[in-house]
Amino acid sequence: MSIADNLHAVRGRIADACRRADRPVGSVTLVAVSKTHPPEAIREAYAAGQRDFGENYAQELRDKIRALDDLPGIHWHAIGHLQTNKARYVAGKALVHTLDRVDLARELVRRAEGAKVEALIEVNIASEPQKRGVLPADLEMTLATLGEVEGLEVAGLMCIPPRGEVAEDSRPWFRLLRELRDRHLPSGALSMGMSLDFEVAIEEGATLVRVGTAIFGERPPS
């Protein structure tokens, strides 16, 4: 299967999930997670109509933005943990899905040089001790603090649920993220769902799904 074939299949599954959930297909943005895959793979997906791409590592994202700056209308998403000293690689150039602290927000705004910074808050949805992100119990306070950062717009919430065996294992966590969104950020985006569970995420309200393996194939072990 080529990247174009995989994309076609994933888009079909997104459309089916939208129909099941009684949602318009246009309400879900597919972010193709291209981390570790070469720029040529991104060009192939772009040629098949894909415009949104997600990367985990700030330097890799910076390099790919440069290598692909001839592609009009491409949108970049920074979906991995972002160190404050690497904020400059993505500020103003990518939608950050993993905002989890105010010093990162301030650095993103500073480095964006006047461009408005939109970011999603990463929520540690199952309060797992080894995971990053804002705890559900701290979300309200974090939102209040981030609300004071001028030039920043918190545009939604993101989560990576505990690794499950099957897609259904993620459903309660997706549902919880949606409830937090409804309560604290009513018009915000919901970035949730990966290759294993993006259809369940759409059924639970995802507006951004982050799909890597199902589009680009297995990543080389790192």
Ligand X SMILES: *Cc1c(COP(=O)(O)O)cnc(C)c1O
**Which residues of the chain form contacts with ligand X (CB under 6 A)?**
33, 35, 56, 79-80, 160, 194-196, 210-214
3 state SS of 170: helix
Q: Where are the alpha helices (DSSP H) in the chain?
A: 3-20, 39-47, 58-67, 102-111, 139-146, 171-184, 198-203, 213-216
Tell me how far the alpha carbon of residue 105 is from its chain's centroid.
Answer: 17
- Smallest distance, Å, CB 70 to ligand X? 26
Of residues 35 and 178, the one with the C-beta less far from ligand X: 35
- Smallest distance, Å, CB 123 to ligand X? 12
CB neighbour burial string for 125-159, b if at least 16 within 10 angstroms, e if fewer: bbeeeebebbbbeebeebbeebeebeebebbbbbb
- Smallest distance, Å, CB 204 to ligand X? 16
DSSP state of 71: S
Residue with nearest beta carbon to ligand X: 212
- Smallest distance, Å, CB 160 to ligand X? 5
Of residues 18 and 206, the one with the C-beta less far from ligand X: 206
Of residues 65 and 151, the one with the C-beta less far from ligand X: 65
Of residues 52 and 149, the one with the C-beta less far from ligand X: 52
- Smallest distance, Å, CB 209 to ligand X? 9
CA 141 – CA 147 distance, rounded (Å): 10
Of residues 80 and 136, the one with the C-beta less far from ligand X: 80
